Structure 1
Amino acid sequence: MLKKLLSLSACTLMLGGCYYLGETLDTSKLKEVKPKNEVVQHAPLTYEAPSVPAGLEAVPFTVNLPVDLPFEAVPFQRPIIYDLTREGKEVKMSVSTFSRNKEDQVRLEVIACNREEEFEKQKTNKVTLIDGTVAYYQKDRILFEKDGIFYEVIYTNHQLSRNEHQAEIVKIASQML
C-alpha cells in the first residue's frame, strides 16, 4: 500500500500529467455538455473538465501528456471526456493545444480511450516508438496501444515535409509511454 501511495505521489508531481484513478469515470468535477439536438438514448455522455489536471484525474486510466512539443504551444485546453457506455467504464478523453502564433496553424490533439476503436491499418505506415511499441502512422496522425489504452495523436503542421512530420509525431507519441 505504501509503495502504491508513493508511486501515486510521485506520479502526480510529474509535469506531463500522470494520474492513477479508480475503475470508473469520476464526474464529480466535470460539467456535462448537453447536446443541442434531441438526445439518442444510448449516445455517449459528454463532459468538459474544468482543467487539464481535473480531466486527467477523472478518467479511469493513466494518461501522460507530451511535454516537449516541437512548436511553441499554448497550454493544453480543457479536456472533453466521453462516457461511451453511460456507465463510466468505457471512456474516451480528448485534449488539445495549438501554436501560439495562429498564422502557423499548428495543432495537436491527444485522444485516449480504454476501448479499442476501429481504424484502417492497411492505409498506414508501421512505425516504432521509443520503447519498441508498434504504432501506425497515417498523414497527420499516429495510433498505438499501451497497457490496454488506445491512443490517437493528431498533429497538424503543414510546414513540415512528410518525413519531418513523421519524425516529430513519433517523438511526441513516445513521450506518452
Structure 2
Amino acid sequence: MKKTLLLAALLLIILSGCNKLDTSNLKVKEPEDEATDHQIKNRPITYVADTLEDGLNALPFDVVLPENLPFEAAPFEAPMIMDLNHDGRMLMAHFKAYDKGNKEIMLLIQTDFPVVESSVPESEKIELYNEMKGFYSKNSIAFQLKDVAYSLIYMNETITPAEHKEELIQLANQIIDKKQGA
C-alpha cells in the first residue's frame, strides 16, 4: 500500500511539472524602466531564449510555425516568452520573422496558453482549413487549436488588402494543417 501511494505521489509530481514552462535555457529580460516591487510582482516575467529551438523546447505546449512565408524571410527569431502569473502555467509567446530586404515586412505570431475566453472585436468570422473557424481583422487573423490560441499579425504595405487577407489565411492554414497532421 505504501509503495502504491509513493508511486502515485511521484507520478503526480512528474506530471504536474510537464505542464509548466521550462526556464532552464531561458534568460529573464530585465524591465527597461524603474519599477516598484509591487509593479514587478504584477507584471509578467519576460524570458528570452538564445535560439528558436530553445524557446520552442521550453514551452509546455507545441507551437507550429509556418514554413512557407509570403516574403523572402530570414529565419524566425528566438521567441520572447511571458509568464503571466509567475508560475510557468499561463504563457504568451511571440515569434517574429522579417523580410530579408525590408524590415517593415514582418510576421508576428503570438501564442497564448492555455486559451482563455476572449473576443475579437470588429473582426470578420472566416472559415479556415478543415472547417476551423478564425477571425480576420485588417492585418491579423486569430484562431484556436486545442489549448493554444494563435494570433498572426502580418505587416506588409507593399500588397493590396485582398492579397494581405489571402496571405494571412494561407499562413493560418499551414499551421492548422501541420498541427492536425501531427
Q: Same fold (TM over 0.5)?
A: yes
- Identify the residue that residue 106 of structure 1 maps to in structure 2: 105
Whole-angstrom CA distance in 1 between matches of 2:143 and 2:117:
12
Partner of 1:64: 64
Q: Indicate the residue corresponding to 2:19 in structure 1.
A: 23
Question: What is residue 155 of structure 1 aligned with on the other side?
Answer: 154
Alignment of 1:4-19 (within 5 A): none
Please state how far the C-alpha of 1:118 moved relative to its aligned partner: 6.8
Number of the residue aligned with 2:73 = 73
CA distance in 2, matches of 1:113, 1:120: 14
The amino acid that maps onto 1:33 is: K
CA RMSD of aligned residues (A): 1.7
Give 1:35's aligned residue: 31
> Where does structure 1 lack aligned partners over 5 or more consecutive residues?
1-20
Aligned-residue offset at 1:115 = 3.5
Aligned ranges for residues 83-162 of structure 1 at < 5 Å? 83-102=83-102, 105-116=104-115, 120-162=119-161
Q: Please give the alpha-carbon distance, in whole angstroms, between the structure 2 residues aligned to 1:95 and 1:69.
A: 13
Q: Which amino acid aligns with 1:126?
A: K
For the pair shown, the structure with the greater C-alpha radius of gyration is 2
Percent of pairs with identical residues? 31
Alignment deviations for residues 134-171 of structure 1 (CA, whole Å, 9 cap, x no partner) = 01010111111110111100001111111111110011
- Match for residue 45 of structure 2? 45
Q: Which runs of 5+ in 2 are unaligned?
A: 1-16, 177-182
Alpha-carbon distance in structure 2 between the residues aligned to 1:174 and 1:96: 18
AA at the equivalent of 1:161? T
**Larger deviation: 108-117 or 78-87?**
108-117
Q: Secondary structure at the match of 1:164?
A: helix
Match of 1:5?
none
Q: Write out the 4+ residue segments of structure 1 that deviate beyond 4 Å after TM superposition.
A: 117-120
**Amino acid corresponding to residue 49 of structure 2 in structure 1:** A
TM-score calculated relative to the size of structure 1:
0.83
What is the alpha-carbon distance in structure 2 between the residues aligned to residue 99 and residue 90 of structure 1? 31
Shift of 1:119: 5.7
- 1:166 maps to which residue? 165
Give TM-score scaled by structure 2 length. 0.80
2:24 maps to a residue whose letter is S
Per-residue CA deviations over 1:58-93 (Å, capped at 9, x if unaligned) read: 111110000001110011111000001100000110
Counterpart Cα distance in 2 of 1:161 and 1:153: 18
Distance in 2 of aligned mates of 1:167 and 1:157: 13
